[in-house]
Amino acid sequence: MIEKRLRKLIDRYRITGGKGFRLKDHDPADTGGLNLEKEEAQAMLADSTRILAEQQDKLYAQDRWSVLCIFQAMDAAGKDGAIKHVFTGVNPQGCHVVSFKAPNAAELDHDFLWRHAIALPQRGQIGIHNRSWYEEVLVVRVHQKILAAQKLPDRLVTKRIFDERLEDIAAYERYLARQGVVILKFFLNVSKDEQRKRFLERIEEPEKNWKFNAGDVAERTHWKAYQSAYEEAILATATPQAPWFVVPADNKRFTRIIVADAIAEAMDSLDLRYPELDEKARAELATAKQALG
């Protein structure tokens, strides 16, 4: 069971409706008053990942629901680390991570949801999407030259295109929810200053050099445009069936605890159970047991 105080915290970051949502009301440095000394934070995360693993075992056995976890963030907000630490202990057979980069030529020959749709988790599975269809209203909105390369018929590219995309995403998520896909969307909310520190670490620490990408520094100049694109996206697509979690991301330990708990809590509410055998199947087990001597 997830501790009550954590449930309360998760409630604070869960956005289930866009009305009145403003990103600037969310502090990237918030740690919810938790003590995040290393050992204690590790123990909390371990508790949540254990619950997650137990739930996943049932999800897989029951084979009805699937869980789609979407991760969106600015660079160096900690998506990769969160995925690595939160899903530790989850049976690899029951989960599937996909990272979405700029679409390739084959992908651009389809509608924008196509490549994401074919990557959705099967029933019984957890899908982890590192970036998602939201890039279509984030990076594409910030850099409209990307839009120009998307091979859309001219007359469909209007001023309303990003609002239309948000509408389509919301409609598609509603459809998926009605199909038994539990959608959890995480925006790891890092501050511009913390991002700067992390980029400097990537430059200064040899074992982090490989993570450094000069292009990411250039992207910082569009910070405001990204923040407003995120705000619009969350506003238009936060619903009870596909909530956003705006997770403070300046403190990585805190981020991971909140993400793990949010997923564990959502799965817990599904009331997952191992399938129960009917009388006939139980009789078959008894016969098999006899045959084994």
Binding residues (CB under 5 A) for Mg ion: these are 75
What track of x and - describes contact with ligand ATP for positions 88 through 107 (by CB under 6 A)? -----------xxxxx----
Report if residue 265 touches ligand ATP, rule: CB under 6 A: no
Strand (E) or helix (H) holding 67: strand 66-73
Binding-site partner at residue 171 among Mg ion, ligand ATP, none, CB < 5 to 8 Å by type: none
Q: CA-CA distance, 143 to 156, in Å (whole number)?
A: 18
Report if residue 147 touches ligand ATP, rule: CB under 6 A: no
Query: Tokens 């998760």 correspond to what residue?
Result: 10
Q: CA-CA distance, 117 to 129, in Å (whole number)?
A: 11
CB 116 → ligand ATP: shortest distance, Å?
9
CB 274 → ligand ATP: shortest distance, Å?
36
Amino acid identity for residue 179 in this structure: Q
DSSP state of 134: G
Listed residue (71, 218, 92, 89) closest to 143, CA to CA: 218
CB 158 → Mg ion: shortest distance, Å?
30
Per CB under 6 A, the segment of 51-59, 73-81, 167-175, 285-293 that binds ligand ATP is 73-81
Report if residue 226 touches ligand ATP, rule: CB under 6 A: no
Query: Tokens 């970036």 correspond to what residue?
Result: 131
Binding-site partner at residue 140 among Mg ion, ligand ATP, none, CB < 5 to 8 Å by type: ligand ATP
Listed residue (287, 255, 276, 272) closest to 73, CA to CA: 255
Q: CA-CA distance, 170 to 165, in Å (whole number)?
A: 8
Report if residue 223 touches ligand ATP, rule: CB under 6 A: no
Q: Considering only residues 266-285, where is the footprint of ligand ATP by CB under 6 A?
A: none
State which residue, 185 or 198, has the beta carbon closest to Mg ion. 198
SS3 42: helix
Amino acid identity for residue 201 in this structure: E
CB 133 → ligand ATP: shortest distance, Å?
8
| Binding test (CB under 6 A) with ligand ATP, winner from 54, 57, 80, 168 | 80
| Binding test (CB under 6 A) with ligand ATP, winner from 144, 179, 213, 241 | 213
Contact call for residues 246 and 13 (beta carbons, < 8 A): yes
Q: CA-CA distance, 137 to 185, in Å (whole number)?
A: 15
Contact residues for ligand ATP, defined by CB under 6 A = 75, 79-80, 99-103, 130-131, 135-136, 139-140, 146, 213
